[in-house]
Structure 1
Amino acid sequence: MTALERETITARLAAGAVEYRLEGDGPQTVVIFHGGHMRAGLALGEEVFTTSGHQVLAPSRPGYGRTPLSTATTPAAFADVTAQLCRDLGIGRVAAVVGISAGGRTALTMAARHPHLVGRVILQSAVGFAPWPGDRRTRLGGRLMFNARVEAATWAAVRLVTRTAPRAGLRLLLRDLSTRPVSRVMAGLSEHDQAELLALFTLMRSGGGFVNDMLPVPDCARQVTQPALVIATRTDRSVPFTHAESLAATIPRAELVESRADGHMIWFAPDYPAITGKIKDFLATV
């Protein structure tokens, strides 16, 4: 098990199995909905919450890890499942739901459906309610490469390339995450960051979750009444900045924070410490 991997638990709820991780001993809980190709056992950018005294609850979204797609096929259904998981764990109030990338829609849907449970919303490089991916060719490619029948082979190929030619493999993977030249993106990453990204990419799997993430979802942004922090960068090729702009314009109490990251992975940008300060201030605001 690597430093990125964490132990998880599988709960058996009425709707089905839910894999989750519960870490930290703070008095308040933050629920994190991971992005595509991720799962509860992979931690990314969580230090801002644990170091500010929050407990982290990270469930694997349906189709990822050990949460089968049959547990909940829509963000609305999984929002209800997560609310039930909170009740079973004795969590009566969530300080914030965090939606990362493709997990953004689930975070927003949970906030809209369970306003008594959710205090705030934090979105990081999050997919909104516009069609995603935005062009038909990318959607078709995603369904071809990451459907449940072939995704294991796709990720096996990724691991082979990153093991035999790490820098070339990382350049290939980063190309789809940034609108900037990949040479500039690589130059902005330290050796440590490059190694961490390579380790993360080699641990990713899509299961049945990623193709499900690309399906249309009812737009509930106007029903999100909680304060929301929308964090995104204009150089994100994976989730265009227009998603963040639309969410910030539609959610009644939203603030848009523009990252200076060179692409989708905002946690590896030089300005991320400043953004963590924004997040901590946001969580501390009464």
Structure 2
Amino acid sequence: MTIVERETATAYLAEGLVEYRLKGESPETVVIFHGGHMRAALALGEEVFTTSGPSGHQVLVPSRPGYGRTPLVTATTPAAFADLTARLCDELGIERIAAVVGISAGGRTALTMAARHPDLVCRVILQSAVGFGPWPDRRTRLAGRLAFGARAEAATWAAVRLLMRAAPRAGLRLLLRDLSTRPVGQVMAGLSEHDRAELVALFTLMRSGEGFVNDMLPVPDCAGQVTQPTLIIASRTDRSVPFAHAESLAATIPRAELAESRADGHMIWFAPDYPTIARRIKDFLATA
């Protein structure tokens, strides 16, 4: 993977403005709901989808409300944004979604879309995803509102960019500490130089807009209404989204399977066992 900003488009729908990126020309489409501090212009872990199947899948990545060029007023809840994404698919001529993917804080939107649009969505893939249990913890919620509120988020990310330029190793240690239950030195030691460079690039490009504070609001639990086959990928050492979220979803969704990543925390794409996880994803997409 290469972390760079990519070109995006916007659509003006009845609900409002939405930013999105559509990559590929395959008749098979995967919709990806990114996690917190991300947007459509940033790609993370998409290669597994674009290389799956004889001709790969095209990926549709909308910026969730409050991120990128999708204003929060477009859709303030996962249910509203799920409906908007279904409308966007219709506008783009997408009649079937091979899989909807929920990454981290985008997990609840993916699950909500699957529950509300079962005739459109064929499968669900969750990666380090937030479920419907308590999230985040009280400390993170308070810190998140302070650091990523409307008045502070631009300054917070400006400080992160400055740190990543001046002292990238120290910057990585600071940010990875909140993503793993393991000692940060152990996490750093498990990363290759290439992985560290990719993470520095990713953290340098992140922004929160109004999205992250909105992500921390409670969402109605619809896991029991998800009837599609669901692949849940999570690590037991994830500090950002506790493994209990994955276990709860696996126990509630009727056709769920849980794949445990050996990653040192939240960032499963940078773990030595990710090739095994990627094969699991490709096999899952290939199932009838």
Structure 2 gaps of 5+ residues are: none
Give runs of aligned pairs for residues 87-166 of structure 1, distance below 5 A: 87-133=90-136, 135-166=137-168
Percent of aligned pairs with the same amino acid: 84
Give runs of aligned pairs for residues 42-81 of structure 1, distance below 5 A: 42-52=42-52, 53-81=56-84
Greater CA drift, 103-112 or 138-147:
138-147
Q: What SS class does the counterpart of residue 49 from structure 2 fall into? A: helix
Distance in 2 (CA, whole Å) between partners of 1:84 and 1:261 is 36
Given that 2:163 and 2:171 are in contact with CA atoms closer than 8 Å, whether structure 1 keeps it comes out as yes
Partner of residue 174, structure 1: 176
Give runs of aligned pairs for residues 1-40 of structure 1, distance below 5 A: 3-40=3-40
Distance in 2 (CA, whole Å) between partners of 1:168 and 1:205 is 20
Given that 2:3 and 2:42 are in contact with CA atoms closer than 8 Å, whether structure 1 keeps it comes out as no
Q: What SS class does the counterpart of residue 59 from structure 2 fall into? A: strand
Task: Tell me how many residue pairs correspond in the alignment.
Answer: 284
How far 1:3 sits from its partner (Å)? 4.6
Distance in 1 (CA, whole Å) between partners of 2:165 and 2:47 is 28
1:154-173 CA-partner distances (Å, limit 9, x unpaired): 00011111111110111001
Aligned AA for 2:131?
Answer: G
Q: What SS class does the counterpart of residue 235 from structure 1 fall into? A: coil
How far 1:4 sits from its partner (Å)? 2.2
How far 1:25 sits from its partner (Å)? 1.5
How far 1:180 sits from its partner (Å)? 0.2
Aligned AA for 2:157?
Answer: W
Distance in 2 (CA, whole Å) between partners of 1:77 and 1:3 is 29
How far 1:24 sits from its partner (Å)? 1.1
Q: What SS class does the counterpart of residue 37 from structure 2 fall into? A: coil
Distance in 1 (CA, whole Å) between partners of 2:5 and 2:228 is 32
1:5-40 CA-partner distances (Å, limit 9, x unpaired): 210001000100000000012120000000000000
Partner of residue 84, structure 1: 87
Distance in 1 (CA, whole Å) between partners of 2:116 and 2:87 is 12
Q: What SS class does the counterpart of residue 234 from structure 2 fall into? A: strand
Distance in 1 (CA, whole Å) between partners of 2:238 and 2:80 is 29
Q: CA RMSD in A?
A: 0.7
Structure 1 gaps of 5+ residues are: none
2:212 is the alignment partner of 1:206: no
Distance in 2 (CA, whole Å) between partners of 1:35 and 1:137 is 19
Distance in 2 (CA, whole Å) between partners of 1:196 and 1:21 is 21
How far 1:138 sits from its partner (Å)? 1.7
Q: TM-score, normalised by structure 2?
A: 0.98
Given that 1:4 and 1:44 are in contact with CA atoms closer than 8 Å, whether structure 2 keeps it comes out as no
Moved over 4 A (4+): none
How far 1:137 sits from its partner (Å)? 2.0
